[in-house]
Amino acid sequence: MARQTDCRGLPMKKVMTRGEFWALMDRLVEERHVVGVVEKSPGHYVFDRLKSIEQVANDYLPTILPPKKYLLPQTDPLFRYNRETSAMEPVEAFEEIVVFGVRPCDITALAIVTERMLDGEPDEAVRARRDAMTIIGWDCKHPCDEHSFCESVGSLDPDYGYDVLVRDIGGRKLVIETGSPKGDHLVKDVGRLFDEADKAMLASYMAQRNASFPKKLDIPISDAPLLFTGTDENPFWDELADKCYSCGTCTTVCPTCYCFDVHEEIELDMKHGTRVRTWDSCQLDEFAEVATGENFREERVERVRHRLQRKFNYQFTRTGQSHCVGCGRCARACLVGIDPVDVVNTLAQTQTIG
């Protein structure tokens, strides 16, 4: 990710003992609305409100849904209105929330969704939620599961998008890196400043961590737009489409998908109503259908291709950044095993880049 800096320059680093850090988190859980990762059932993890810090699962498989759900909820009432007077009022004020234990891939994804939703005409609901959100990230020591490939798409080391990032470097030490004034304030009275001995330990930790993440893509991620350009007639897309159910599971679990639908919920008096935004999926057959009946992606192959082109080509070309963060959720959830790694590597074998 391209670095965004403030007047402080490099982020502040501090060192805490485990005891100091968990005491800080314990206070936060008591005083504020804190969500973190909990085990919902054996092997299945979700972000949920914490009642106690003992609930937290640190070394977890990726959550079923990404923390994007706190930025762009699945069901999002935008405003209420009176049809007779045309009066409108917001549905809710946005409560401050701390999202704890966010992995680097999800930090990257939250930054992507925020940036896309604030492009052009900014989405004020998303802006308000992000302003009310404090993100405490937790670095990954090793791949979270067999489907992840964050290192290959450049999301393992986010430069921004978090308020605090925690690295467990061993020896009962945690390195705390702040990425915003909000993060500085959160940890200002805890721990000590980073010193030369800590630098050596962190360098050793980073070397071991980086060595544990294999390169899974057969091309540099920077070549992905060129690889995907001009592939529309590649028969591989038909092979994928023959397997796909068009169920939309992949987009539901994706941390960077932000397509939505809007509908009206009219009350029984027929005078008052609420405009509601809900998640939508480009994989559903009616997604690209317009009022006159035409469907611009009627064929399943067009929808399958569009999703992957959007991640690795269209948005990448527009912004300079892969819109797949390598979390592996879509491959893990797909009923027929469609995996972006296989897609990229198969195209790399059958297409000439450029």
pLDDT at 8 over 60: no
pLDDT above 80 (res 9) = no
Mean pLDDT to the nearest integer, 325-347: 97
Q: What is the signed CA dihedral for 199, 202, 203, 208, rounded to 10 degrees?
A: 170
In this model, does residue 241 exceed pLDDT 60? yes
- The answer, yes or no, to whether residue 38 has pLDDT greater than 50, is yes
List, for residues 250-305, the tens digit of each pLDDT value.
Answer: 999 999 999 999 999 999 999 999 999 999 999 999 999 999 989 999 999 999 99
The pLDDT tens digits of the residues spanning 43-72 come to 999 999 999 999 999 889 999 999 999 999
DSSP assignment string, 13-39: EEEEEHHHHHHHHHHHHHHS-EEEEEE
**pLDDT at residue 143 above 90?**
yes
Place 3 in a pLDDT band, splitting at 50, 70 and 90.
very low
**Region 90-103 average pLDDT:** 90
Comparing CA positions, the residue from 94, 47, 93 lying closest to residue 66 is 47
Question: What's the one-letter identity of residue 55?
Answer: Q
Full-prediction pTM beyond 0.75?
yes
Q: What pLDDT is stored for residue 10 in this prediction?
A: 59
**Mean pLDDT for all residues in the chain:** 93
Side chain identity, residue 49: R
Beta bridge partners of 138: 166
Measured between alpha carbons, how far is 36 from 38 in angstroms, rounded to an integer?
6
Whether 71 contacts 126, CB under 8 Å: yes
Beta bridge partners of residue 41, listed in sequence order: 44
What is the distance between the alpha carbons of residues 45 and 63, in angstroms, rounded to a whole number? 5
For 118-132, what is each residue's pLDDT tens digit?
Answer: 999 999 999 999 999
**pLDDT more than 70, % of the chain:** 97
Q: Please report the beta strands in the chain, taking only residues with DSSP state E, as ranges in sequence order.
A: 13-17, 34-41, 44-49, 75-82, 88-90, 97-102, 133-138, 164-170, 173-178, 192-193, 260-266, 272-279
Kindly write down the DSSP assignment for every residue of 131-156, as one continuous string: HTEEEEEE--SS-SSTT--HHHHT-S
Q: What is the mean pLDDT of residues 241-251?
A: 97
Q: Residue 195: pLDDT band by 50, 70, 90 thresholds?
A: confident
Percent of the chain with pLDDT over 90: 84
DSSP 311: I
Largest CA distance in the chain: 69
3-state secondary structure of 97: strand
| Per-residue model confidence (pLDDT) at position 350 | 87
pLDDT of residue 197: 77
Checking if the pLDDT of 20 tops 70, the result is yes
Gap between the Cα atoms of 333 and 85, Å rounded? 46
The Cα angle at residue 330 between residues 333 and 325, in degrees rounded to 5: 145
Q: How far is CA 264 from CA 83, 259, 272, 273, 289, in A?
A: 12, 17, 10, 7, 19
Output the pLDDT for position 354.
61
